[in-house]
Structure 1
Amino acid sequence: MPDVVEHHGVPVLVCDADGASISTVQDALDHLIGAAFHAAEVVAVPAPRLDDRFFDLSTGFAGEILQKFANYRLRLVVVGDIGRHLAASSALPDLVREANRGQDIWFLPDLDALRERLAPDGTGRKAG
């Protein structure tokens, strides 16, 4: 069962590395968005929980998942080493770089990096 923790006033749903694989959009709705919807603003998902298709942008799977998070006004953080996926793709490094510049989707190495990113002096606070 995922835990909701608070980092700098932001509720974060921290998903367990041993949880269900996210291999369909419905999995994301059931196991991530549904679990976070009333309790968290940010969902931190261990990278291994995401099906490899998420990291192959040509499948469109990542786009579908990211759109669902946007529709529900939740932020997604993919936590962990995605080096093998980055090495296998020409487009993924660009997505990761652009996402990490924004406010709603981040690819971070660990939960400590997420905590830092959510700090008031970090770049992760939403305006307003």
Structure 2
Amino acid sequence: MSMMGEFKSFAIKGNVMDLAVAVIIGAAFGKIVESLVQDLIMPVVGTIFGGLDFSNYYLPLHGQGTQLALVEAKKAGAVLAYGNFLTILINFVILAFIIFQMVRIANKTQKPKVEAAPVTPEDVILLREIRDALKNRP
């Protein structure tokens, strides 16, 4: 089979299409969670800690102070943007918790798989019938 034929066979499998849909929905869901964290949660957390904006927390690596906004500080030199990292970390924790809950609920709603009893081969059944017939013979 040619490489193009193999690719077509791979691409039209149901699992690949399901994965593509899941990635697209996951990206959209990630944006929703990102907005939730940046627009709703972090302002509340910032207010609790005295009205601070975590996205502008950084440590300059070039010796200047932290009076500049993060964007300006990055232009001036290298910085450790730990406030931005904190925001992304909270975003990840919330997203991971929501996905965990979704998987947990999905697992609870699935019916447990009942394994069928193994089917006895026909020749074994026939041999048992012969054995039983020989036992009952006078």
Which of the five TM-score ranges fits, normalised by the shorter chain?
Answer: under 0.3
Higher normalized helix content (fraction of residues): 2
The higher radius of gyration belongs to: 2
TM-score (norm: length of structure 2): 0.19
